[in-house]
Amino acid sequence: MRSEITPAELHCGAHGAGPVGFGRATTPTQDLLRGVWRENPVLVQLLGLCPTLAVTNSVANSIVMGLATFFVLVGSSFLVSTVKRFVPNAVRISTYILIIATFVTVAEMVLQALVPDIHKALGPFVALIVVNCIILGRQEAFASRQPVGRAVLDAVGMGSGFMIALLLMGTIREVLGSGSFLGVSLFGPGYEPWVIMVLPPGGFFTLAFLLLAINWLKQARVAQAQARERSRSVTATRAA
């Protein structure tokens, strides 16, 4: 077991590494669920923002990119965890990148065969999954240190969280920017679309408002918890 924090962990924000990560023990359920909300790779850790901002101008693009990333993350985590004991420490990063690139190639070929129009719309961002910090960070911080089952659970959680973030942004941008959902018109011909929402600035605006809403919810929860704690303290003081 390695004790040092590697550059990949520092730059990719791969904290919360599970049973051996930074001395914090987690359960399999926590491995699965933390990536969905508490450590969501996009909405909390702010990773993978390049494809998040670039391809979420429609729901279809968001779903396909999310599924491709999910496949690559789960497949590479499974394989890295399986072969970790056979990989020399000096070449581990190169090995992880090679494994990730293999799954990216498979994903790209499948998308090109099944949904060529969406594959074309996504442009180079499918191929760029290989350099996505979410994926390399989870291999270095978690999959390379954990049994196969835990590694897959972590990958499923992180991949699901990434898909949820993309779907949220894609839905908001397509509904406001095109007045449709998956190409189906929602508001009729009289709707005046917010064209800026399907343009690059719309991605920044949408992400900013989502982060604002999430931070507001977190602060509201903290305030409620503090109010309940003060109420209990007052009640206990009066009872004494």
Tell me if residue 56 falls in helix, strand or coil: coil
Question: How many beta carbons lie within 10 A of that of residue 219, not counting itself?
Answer: 10
* % of residues, the chain, pLDDT over 70: 90
Determine the pLDDT at residue 100: 96
CA-based nearest residue to 42, from 171, 158, 190 = 158
Alpha helices for the chain (secondary structure H): 7-12, 28-33, 49-55, 59-83, 92-114, 116-122, 133-138, 148-178, 200-239
Determine the pLDDT at residue 24: 61
| Average pLDDT of span 176-195 | 91
Four-residue CA torsion sign, 140, 36, 69, 61: negative
Determine the pLDDT at residue 45: 92
Residue-averaged pLDDT of the chain: 87
Q: What is the pLDDT of residues 123-156, one digit of tens each?
A: 999 999 999 999 999 999 999 999 999 999 999 9
Global pTM? 0.84
Judge whether 48 and 132 are in contact, CB under 8 Å: yes
Cα 82–Cα 85–Cα 89 angle in degrees, nearest 5: 120
Q: Would you list the domain boundaries of the chain?
A: 7-220
Burial class (CB in 10 A: 0-12, 13-18, 19+), 134: buried
Q: What is the pLDDT of residues 72-99, one digit of tens each?
A: 999 999 999 999 999 999 999 999 999 9
